[in-house]
Chains A and B, each alone.
Chain A
């Protein structure tokens, strides 16, 4: 989230799109309701299905799954055509005025594509040469702008052109949303373009789990820029993360393309050594110009005294991905299926239920030589070799199950969606031999070190020289000493390796002391830090009530300013800033916008920025100074990017999902996202990457979660009180579809896709309605993805059912490759 949970209370209009907050983030509704009670805020819910969120909304609009860009493009057009955008914000704080290379062309010129498309093999999918997607500059390299927004090559005019055909009729035809509903939603949300109003978009996996997921998110960012909502209380682009600590796992880089705190994973081709990495990855402008400090401090954290200037701070010890490698979820399972990956270690995941094309992924697990899994129950992944219909004797994979502690059974920090790092105590002992995941990993690391010391092998140094001493924790009856989690926290927070001096030779921080801010990080090896964004989270700070304690342990309840900032409650990255880009909360002169949500502002008397939050800006940059209106300090030009290159182009365009019941009404010759990868392993086989056709599978399907269960069910289907509330797999469908198919409420039905067939109980409901799409009736159904057969026979789940993901396709987004779980084709019939 650019903002945070409590800040939802400051919004005038809240739009929930691609999220079902009431079911999946119920605590958020406390703050949504606060906004409605205290500011008469309005709640809009956009969803294919009338959800429990929709039930509490002021305005509900149904759209067909996979048509968000059409919906948002229409909103942008509506806002621009009717001059409802926040003009001062757009002119000064975004790149709307920036002039683009005249060689740039868009889908209106090129039949659905942008300039630079390269299709190597003629299959219609390829990649872009982004050479024309650039700013115009003068001879000195200064970026050219037209702040009247009239130049035909300025971003604003190009944006108008991009969405020129996304009018109400077209968007209604594509999305299936009735025209009057669309207009009502657009008109209401556009009111937040008034300078004294702010609007907030809450989104989740309904936006991201599409082949155009990244561009869906871009749309929201662009709308929030056009309406002047980003960086302001009650505004922002707010990802409701699907797990309590998924923000933390992202920050700590449990992803293929980044190392901790959003730096690129070293690549064997383009980053052969430290100098090359720094040269390629460090921009000349923006706060990222400090990247060498972040990276070298990270290397010092990992390899300690063994990381020296002479050995490139042990850069060579870091693993590197292959030049053209693809190491995301889908491709990992493809590699596993092909037998290229021999072993797999899984923590806290249940891919046998949660992975796309789950039959294929379970078959991939069978190809492994070994599988290690840390789990709290015997999930379907733990017991994948016991799947009904399979013979365990035929499965050669050796499976090691390590019993893990639950989140409540260990101490440590979690990071909420709002970037708030909160320390949590252990409140119960893990049962039996179960251990916290960090202790399991520590024991393995120590064993690895022992093994490599005994039998060094060809490249043992990265492990032997690893800076790894977390000893000193409590005693455990079985495994001996556990780790001291505070030592891990201190390393992540960062510390001085030797005295750090300022320009005058004064000591900023003494050797061994913790760092207070990432401004203290150095590129000379004098600081070590496991995650530059987290610097300060374990530094002792006051809690506003007389206590000083590690920042993330604070529970101070003062809220000066009354905006819900609560600066003494835990610690928010970066530098305890609660709303990022908050320079935008003041106008082009540094004064707060009207509306009474003053967050930070320029104080001429003090000669600095001041206010209730930590300014996301140079504190003494004054009106008239260069860059005073460049609030987006992580961007090379300091502006919010209405024009910003993702793999599919600098503006989002509507492309149909890979499986769709209809043609692309906006770009007749460009049906799908042109930059996605289509996997075709065992295409047409019983288990394979097969794609369905609307003649066989005419119904749009989507998957979702319900409030009663958690993800792939590992934390909920074994709990009696939750299992009783949602005991079995179900499918929701409209009364119209049910009648067409002769299905009654409560009937057992089969759901078929090109990848499989599952069974579920029909819930026939008025909450799904058929869509009118491009002149035809299109039905949509939906079902939860929580269920599986029950896992291990010794202690099976209490709530069981067929697995929704046996039906979903193995295809992902054009940038992140997140699977397209949210829009695919099925058929249903009475079982």
Chain B
């Protein structure tokens, strides 16, 4: 897709100021959690329903030089996106310019996107077991929690969520909120081919002028080409990234066989959907999709 857009993320310029993390919450009107200090600068502890992007911190004892690596996490907007392929209600779609868009109103909270995503990005609106207290900070957060705390995954009121590259901004020609706020020049936004070219040129500089022999581009080829193009100073594993993420085999099966059944079921009877839900829940294990 020649007009595909992408986010450029240069980890060699990122200084983990986390302006992107906060700007994302602000633009998308997301509540904060009452988090805990557990021995790291990372918080919230993982991407979740109310955290579309965050900085992951990793200490890397490179034999040449010690490095403290910062990785801006979020939806990768895969060229071949398992979440879209398994979504029974088309809440997740290949949107214009290659952005994986999300329409909250269409989401039925089935959670397949969350389970099939090779990066574990989409999250449902139930308190995550990862968090200590699971409580949200601020009035708005308390209201959200009061609603969702009483629900379960079958009522249809639970929703998924994820980074949409600020689809409400980008369809209007604006940059995503995180890109706009980055003071270090680590983030950029534009035509994907240009972002890939920019990343390759930067990697070349890092290798030849800045003593990062392991520098590399990430995202240019993986999963049909990601919508995030990373400049890495070290191997992906050092950042906690999978070097070679796999499109989950089960999702193809799902798309061809179970999903159409599921859609018919939704049209006909809720019971069918519930059945499909439980089938998927029981049979799909994360080991298979990784």
Q: A22-B15, A52-B15, A56-B15 are in contact. Are A727 and B22 (CB under 8 A)?
A: no
Q: By the criterion CB–CB under 8 Å, are B39 and A766 in contact?
A: no
Q: By the criterion CB–CB under 8 Å, are A26 and B44 in contact?
A: no
Q: By the criterion CB–CB under 8 Å, are A728 and B36 in contact?
A: yes
- Of B12, B16, B34, B209, which contacts A727 at CB under 8 A? B34
Residue A23 lies at the interface, judged by CB distance under 8 Å to chain B: yes
In angstroms, Cα B38 to Cα A747, docked, is 8
Instruction: Give B185's nearest chain A residue, CB to CB.
Output: A33
Q: Give chain A interface residues in 42-79, CB to chain B under 8 Å.
A: 50, 52-56, 58
Would you give the 0/1 interface string for A670-711, flagging 1 where the beta carbon is closer than 8 Å to chain B? 000000000000000000000000000000000000111000
Q: By the criterion CB–CB under 8 Å, are A720 and B17 in contact?
A: no
Q: By the criterion CB–CB under 8 Å, are B37 and A761 in contact?
A: yes
Q: By the criterion CB–CB under 8 Å, are A729 and B17 in contact?
A: no
Q: Give chain A interface residues in 747-796, CB to chain B under 8 Å.
A: 747, 761-767
Q: By the criterion CB–CB under 8 Å, are B183 and A724 in contact?
A: no
Residue B33 lies at the interface, judged by CB distance under 8 Å to chain A: yes
- Of B34, B36, B185, which contacts A30 at CB under 8 A? B185
Q: A722-B22, A724-B35 are in contact. Are A52 and B17 (CB under 8 A)?
A: yes
Identify the stretch in B63-71, B102-110, B273-281 within 8 Å (CB) of chain A at 4 or more residues.
B63-71
Residue A669 lies at the interface, judged by CB distance under 8 Å to chain B: no
In the assembled complex, which residues on chain A have CB atoms less than 8 Å from the CB atom of B21? Answer: 725
Residue A479 lies at the interface, judged by CB distance under 8 Å to chain B: no
Give A139 Cβ to nearest chain B Cβ, in Å.
59
- Of B38, B138, B184, which contacts A746 at CB under 8 A? B38
In angstroms, Cα B185 to Cα A26, docked, is 11
Give A672 Cβ to nearest chain B Cβ, in Å.
34
In the assembled complex, which residues on chain A have CB atoms less than 8 Å from the CB atom of B66? Answer: 50, 766-767
Instruction: Give A25's nearest chain B residue, CB to CB.
Output: B183
In angstroms, Cα B186 to Cα A56, docked, is 11
- Of B17, B59, B210, which contacts A58 at CB under 8 A? B210
Residue A326 lies at the interface, judged by CB distance under 8 Å to chain B: no
Instruction: From A40, A723, A767, name the one whose CB has the most chain B CB atoms within 10 angstroms.
Output: A723
In the assembled complex, which residues on chain B have CB atoms less than 8 Å from the CB atom of A56? Answer: 12-15, 184
Instruction: Give B137's nearest chain A residue, CB to CB.
Output: A720
Q: By the criterion CB–CB under 8 Å, are A725 and B15 in contact?
A: no
Residue A745 lies at the interface, judged by CB distance under 8 Å to chain B: yes
Q: A23-B15, A55-B70, A708-B18 are in contact. Are A798 and B137 (CB under 8 A)?
A: yes
- Of B31, B41, B68, B209, which contacts A40 at CB under 8 A? B209
Q: By the criterion CB–CB under 8 Å, are B184 and A33 in contact?
A: yes
Instruction: Give B13's nearest chain A residue, CB to CB.
Output: A33
Q: By the criterion CB–CB under 8 Å, are B68 and A707 in contact?
A: no
What's the tally of chain B residues with a CB closer than 8 Å to chain A? 41
In angstroms, Cα B185 to Cα A34, docked, is 9
Q: Give chain B interface residues in 184-204, CB to chain A under 8 Å.
A: 184-185
Q: By the criterion CB–CB under 8 Å, are B43 and A54 in contact?
A: no
Give B6 Cβ to nearest chain A Cβ, in Å.
20
Number of A-B contacts (CB under 8 A): 116
Give A761 Cβ to nearest chain B Cβ, in Å.
4
Q: By the criterion CB–CB under 8 Å, are A707 and B18 in contact?
A: yes
In the assembled complex, which residues on chain B have CB atoms less than 8 Å from the CB atom of A29? Answer: 13, 15, 183-185
Residue A275 lies at the interface, judged by CB distance under 8 Å to chain B: no
In angstroms, Cα B38 to Cα A227, docked, is 46
Q: By the criterion CB–CB under 8 Å, are A724 and B68 in contact?
A: no
In the assembled complex, which residues on chain A have CB atoms less than 8 Å from the CB atom of B32? Answer: 720-721, 723-724, 798
Q: By the criterion CB–CB under 8 Å, are A762 and B36 in contact?
A: no
Give A797 Cβ to nearest chain B Cβ, in Å.
11
Q: By the criterion CB–CB under 8 Å, are B70 and A26 in contact?
A: no
Q: By the criterion CB–CB under 8 Å, are A724 and B34 in contact?
A: yes
Instruction: Give A706's nearest chain B residue, CB to CB.
Output: B41
Q: By the criterion CB–CB under 8 Å, are A30 and B183 in contact?
A: yes
Interface of B is mostly: loop
Q: By the criterion CB–CB under 8 Å, are A761 and B39 in contact?
A: yes
In angstroms, Cα B41 to Cα A34, docked, is 27
In the assembled complex, which residues on chain A have CB atoms less than 8 Å from the CB atom of B26? Answer: 721
In the assembled complex, which residues on chain B have CB atoms less than 8 Å from the CB atom of A37? Answer: 185
In angstroms, Cα B53 to Cα A725, docked, is 12
Residue A730 lies at the interface, judged by CB distance under 8 Å to chain B: yes
Give A728 Cβ to nearest chain B Cβ, in Å.
4
Residue B237 lies at the interface, judged by CB distance under 8 Å to chain A: no
Residue B236 lies at the interface, judged by CB distance under 8 Å to chain A: no
Instruction: Give A728's nearest chain B residue, CB to CB.
Output: B37
In the assembled complex, which residues on chain A have CB atoms less than 8 Å from the CB atom of B14? Answer: 56
Q: Give chain B interface residues in 206-246, CB to chain A under 8 Å.
A: 209-211
- Of B19, B34, B40, which contacts A26 at CB under 8 A? B19
Give B62 Cβ to nearest chain A Cβ, in Å.
11
In angstroms, Cα B266 to Cα A93, docked, is 83
Residue B4 lies at the interface, judged by CB distance under 8 Å to chain A: no
Residue A620 lies at the interface, judged by CB distance under 8 Å to chain B: no
Give A200 Cβ to nearest chain B Cβ, in Å.
17
Residue B127 lies at the interface, judged by CB distance under 8 Å to chain A: no
Q: By the criterion CB–CB under 8 Å, are B59 and A767 in contact?
A: yes
Instruction: From B26, B36, B185, B209, name the one whose CB has the most chain A CB atoms within 10 angstroms.
Output: B185
In the assembled complex, which residues on chain A have CB atoms less than 8 Å from the CB atom of B288? Answer: none
In angstroms, Cα B184 to Cα A37, docked, is 12
In angstroms, Cα B16 to Cα A707, docked, is 9
Residue B141 lies at the interface, judged by CB distance under 8 Å to chain A: yes
In the assembled complex, which residues on chain B have CB atoms less than 8 Å from the CB atom of A26? Answer: 15, 17, 19, 183-184
Would you give the 0/1 interface string for B153-197, flagging 1 where the beta carbon is closer than 8 Å to chain A? 000000000000000000000000000000111000000000000
Residue B61 lies at the interface, judged by CB distance under 8 Å to chain A: yes
Q: By the criterion CB–CB under 8 Å, are A766 and B59 in contact?
A: yes
In the assembled complex, which residues on chain A have CB atoms less than 8 Å from the CB atom of B93? Answer: none
Q: By the criterion CB–CB under 8 Å, are A724 and B16 in contact?
A: no
- Of A40, A706, A720, which contacts B138 at CB under 8 A? A720
Give B40 Cβ to nearest chain A Cβ, in Å.
7
- Of A30, A725, A746, which contacts B18 at CB under 8 A? A725
Give A495 Cβ to nearest chain B Cβ, in Å.
39
In the assembled complex, which residues on chain A have CB atoms less than 8 Å from the CB atom of B16? Answer: 22, 52, 55, 707
In the assembled complex, which residues on chain B have CB atoms less than 8 Å from the CB atom of A118? Answer: none
In angstroms, Cα B38 to Cα A730, docked, is 9
Give B157 Cβ to nearest chain A Cβ, in Å.
24
Q: By the criterion CB–CB under 8 Å, are B33 and A724 in contact?
A: yes
Q: By the criterion CB–CB under 8 Å, are B183 and A27 in contact?
A: yes
Instruction: Give B67's nearest chain A residue, CB to CB.
Output: A55
In the assembled complex, which residues on chain A have CB atoms less than 8 Å from the CB atom of B40? Answer: 745, 763
Instruction: From A34, A50, A729, name the one whose CB has the most chain B CB atoms within 10 angstroms.
Output: A50
Q: Give chain A interface residues in 230-284, CB to chain B under 8 Å.
A: none
In the assembled complex, which residues on chain B have CB atoms less than 8 Å from the CB atom of A761? Answer: 37-39
Instruction: From A22, A26, A58, A728, name the one whose CB has the most chain B CB atoms within 10 angstroms.
Output: A26
Give B57 Cβ to nearest chain A Cβ, in Å.
9
Task: Jot down 30 A-B pairs with beta carbons below 8 A, ordered by A.
Answer: A22-B16, A22-B17, A26-B17, A26-B184, A29-B15, A29-B183, A30-B183, A37-B185, A55-B16, A55-B67, A55-B69, A720-B31, A720-B32, A720-B138, A723-B34, A723-B35, A724-B32, A724-B33, A724-B35, A724-B137, A725-B43, A729-B37, A730-B37, A745-B39, A762-B39, A766-B61, A766-B66, A767-B68, A798-B32, A798-B34
What 6 A-B pairs come out closest when comparing CB atoms? A746-B39, A720-B32, A22-B15, A728-B37, A745-B39, A724-B32
Q: A34-B185, A721-B32 are in contact. List 19 more A-B contacts (CB 8 A).
A: A22-B15, A23-B17, A26-B17, A29-B13, A29-B183, A29-B184, A37-B185, A55-B68, A55-B70, A58-B210, A707-B17, A708-B18, A725-B43, A727-B37, A747-B39, A763-B41, A764-B39, A766-B59, A767-B59
